[in-house]
Amino acid sequence: MHEQLNLLNADLDAIIDASAPAEPQLQDQPDEAAPRPKYYPIDENMARRAHEMMSMRDYPENRATNEYRAAVDKAASLVERCKAATSPYYHDKLDALLDRYARRLAQWTNDYNRNGASCPSVLVSGGSNFPVKKKNRQNAREDSLWQEYKTIEAILDKIKSTGSGPVDLADPHAREMLTDQLQRLQNQLDEGKAMNAHYRKHKTMKGFPGMSDDIAAHNDAAIASAPAFAQRPMPDFELASLRGKIKRVQARMAELDRLQAQQASPSAAEEHDGFQIVRNAEQNRLQIIFDGKPDDDTRQALKQNGFRWSPRSSAWQRQLTDNAERAARRALGLD
């Protein structure tokens, strides 16, 4: 078990570029750098039995708990880094993912040790009357446990990706983040155009404001070695890409304006025979609420048009966009 959890910790190191002592001591005080995460109980008696089934050496006190807590602490450090880089809108989700990781890792650790304690190694028990079938069942269970561990490890990927995609328009900080994106993109575009103008006039980047002679010389060499269509500080395709990004951010801001206008003066639900269409600006969802359960063909049409059933809202819904409006009318035969 010790070797397997060392592998687990190595996986976490690769994800968050952190390291921990090989045998950390059981911690009673929280880390001053971040709030201590919630730990779930580890069955040390089972861990000891699993160790004794595999090794003649003594079991170090609290080793399974220490290794589990070290892994959770690394995940907690990852969460704190993500919080520092994302909107507070995502912080509750990050906390929930960390708790899920800690809970599932504790359950997995106990299950792994329980399986390890179910049959001894032949090196411990000897080959006489060795329970081969029982050992085969144990090995098969271990394989399934490692498949399950992959799903637990995937929680770390979810933590890393939280808040890194497009700005959620339901985020109270959405306008602030979109404005910042727009300003940064516009600055890049303006600087690129200014560098192109400077190079076109002087045939060198030397003398460009804020650029040292060494960097200018490096840029001149890069420009000279580029293909003919790209022999300028910022080629046309890069300028076009920036303009495209600016237009997309501006479109998102316009969409946010529409959502906030709907939220300030929400329109009444659109009533139809057997269902209603609700534009829920607060949740940023277009919702279809049926009087009863829709038939199979209707449910299939909704799924094909991107709608998913939400038990919490008792509605078929998707993100509130112009495309969603068209998809709803298409799925319900309202065109």
pLDDT in tens, 28-61: 444 445 568 999 999 999 999 999 988 889 999 9
The residue behind tokens 């602490």 is: 73
The Cα–Cα gap between 84 and 30 comes to 19
pLDDT in tens, 205-224: 999 999 999 999 999 999 99
Whole-structure pTM over 0.75, yes or no?
no
Q: Which token pair is 147?
A: 């498949």
pLDDT band, residue 72 (cuts 50/70/90): very high
- Using an 8 Å Cβ cutoff, are 64 and 42 in contact? yes
Q: What is the DSSP letter of 127?
A: S
**What amino acid is encoded at 320 in this protein?**
L
pLDDT of residue 89: 83
User: How many whole angstroms from its chain centre is CA 250?
Assistant: 25
Q: What integer is the mean pLDDT of 7-26? A: 44
Distances (CA, A) of 75 to 50, 154, 182, 327: 26, 12, 32, 40
- Using an 8 Å Cβ cutoff, are 159 and 79 in contact? yes
pLDDT in tens, 256-297: 888 887 766 655 578 898 999 998 877 888 999 999 999 999
The residue behind tokens 């000897």 is: 126
Closest CA to 122 of 113, 114, 131: 131
pLDDT band, residue 107 (cuts 50/70/90): very high
Pick from 88-92, 98-102, 188-192, 230-234: least confident: 88-92
